[in-house]
Amino acid sequence: MCFGHRCFTPVIRRNDKIMNFAEMTNPRRKDKRMERKARQKVRGTFPRQFSPSQGMCDVVRKAVLFTALFLVLGLPLDSYAYQVRAVPNGGTISGTVMFTGSPVPRDPIIHPTTNINYCGKTLPSLKYLIKNRRVQNVVVFIKNIQAGAPVPRVASLVDNLKCAFVPHVGIGFQGNQLIFKDSDPLFHNIHTYIENRTYYNVGLPFKGAQVTKILTRAGLIEITCDAHPWMRGWLYVFDNPYAALTNANGEFVIRDVPPGTYTVEAWHEEFGTVDLGNVRVTPGKTTTIKIDYKKAKRKSEF
Ligand SMILES: [Cu+2]
């Protein structure tokens, strides 16, 4: 239908459905239009009312506004990216992680449900490794550190040995290799998660099988096996080198720390997370701290 040089198709609302004039006279036209729309949806193409160029304009407009907002606030755009720089006068943070409460938690026993002939009827869960009130397998790290030494270039290995992950808890560094290995004559299917979302899902069908991935991001990786539901491990990945794992005596050391005042965080798979603020590091000196999961206020529990 045209008026002068402008043409349009009249639209009529009937029974809560939009139909144009041609469709009113021939309903099959509407069916065809609906089919076309459905196909567009499946292919991911854009319906006529929305053009890709219009969408791009919106994206560009938002990007410009976002950049302007940061400039106005005086914040650098890369303020959250870790910067590598020389640390000629670094200090050290060392300490112990303890549990002085009572009773000391006992490590739960696992009862495997498959491959019992090989795995055995019971296995330790390795959740609580506490000796003389000192807690092993606690990840201790400097929170939100912005700059310092580069990460060590060492691969992280997750071995499947005797129906358990070895190590049970580890630390890794962004950009390094992550190697999954099968040392059992069993099929293991490694399924890893970050924040409850699948990260890597890898099948290891036989003894000696090995798959290498890359630690593409920082974060806490939960490691499970789809073939053996009781298997569980953890790999805490950092974009900086300022993280350590407590040994059997609950001890840790973090070296080459740029002088300054920091918050130190400790994470344990069952006790959860605690923060220790105002940890001061001075050039060439060692700052000693003590973390007690009884006294410390836990931020979260798992
Ligand atoms: Cu398994």
C-alpha 202 to ligand 1 mean position (Å): 11
Average pLDDT of the chain is 82
Residues 25 and 119 in one domain: no
For 163-184, the pLDDT digits (tens) are 999 999 999 999 999 999 999 9
Sequential DSSP letters for 165-210: EESSEEEEETTSEEEEEE-SSS-EEEEEEETTEEEEEEEE-STT-E
Which among 159, 105, 145 has a CA at the least distance from the CA of 272? 105
Number of domains in the chain: 2
- pTM, full prediction: 0.73
Distance, CA of 119 to CA of 238 (rounded, Å): 33
Q: What torsion do the CA atoms of 276, 282, 288, 293 make, to the nearest 10 degrees?
A: 10
What order of strands is seen across the sheet that includes strand 260-268? 243-245, 139-142, 260-268, 272-281
Model pLDDT, residue 25: 47
Residues 71 and 46 in one domain: yes
49-62: average pLDDT: 47
Asked whether the bond before 27 is cis by omega within 30 degrees of 0, the reply is no
Residues 126 and 164 in one domain: yes
C-alpha 251 to ligand 1 mean position (Å): 30
The number of C-alpha atoms within 13 Å of 234 and in the hemisphere containing its C-beta is 19
pLDDT at 1 over 80: no
260 in any annotated domain = yes
For 232-272, the pLDDT digits (tens) are 999 999 999 999 999 999 999 999 999 999 999 999 999 99
C-alpha 115 to ligand 1 mean position (Å): 9
Residues 30 and 114 in one domain: no
For 132-164, the pLDDT digits (tens) are 999 999 999 999 999 999 999 999 999 999 999
By residue range, what is the domain housing residue 222?
A: 85-292
C-alpha 90 to ligand 1 mean position (Å): 42
C-alpha 231 to ligand 1 mean position (Å): 6
- Which of 52, 79, 106 is the C-terminal boundary of a domain? 79
C-alpha 119 to ligand 1 mean position (Å): 10
- Which of 79, 102, 127 is the C-terminal boundary of a domain? 79
C-alpha 236 to ligand 1 mean position (Å): 20
Alpha helices in 110-167 (DSSP H): 116-119
Residues 70 and 114 in one domain: no
Which percentage of the chain shows pLDDT scores above 70?
Answer: 71
C-alpha 222 to ligand 1 mean position (Å): 14
Distance, CA of 127 to CA of 133 (rounded, Å): 14
Model pLDDT, residue 61: 61
Residues 165 and 251 in one domain: yes
pLDDT at 187 over 80: yes
- Which of 79, 100, 116 is the C-terminal boundary of a domain? 79
Residues 48 and 91 in one domain: no
Q: What torsion do the CA atoms of 175, 195, 124, 163 make, to the nearest 10 degrees?
A: -60
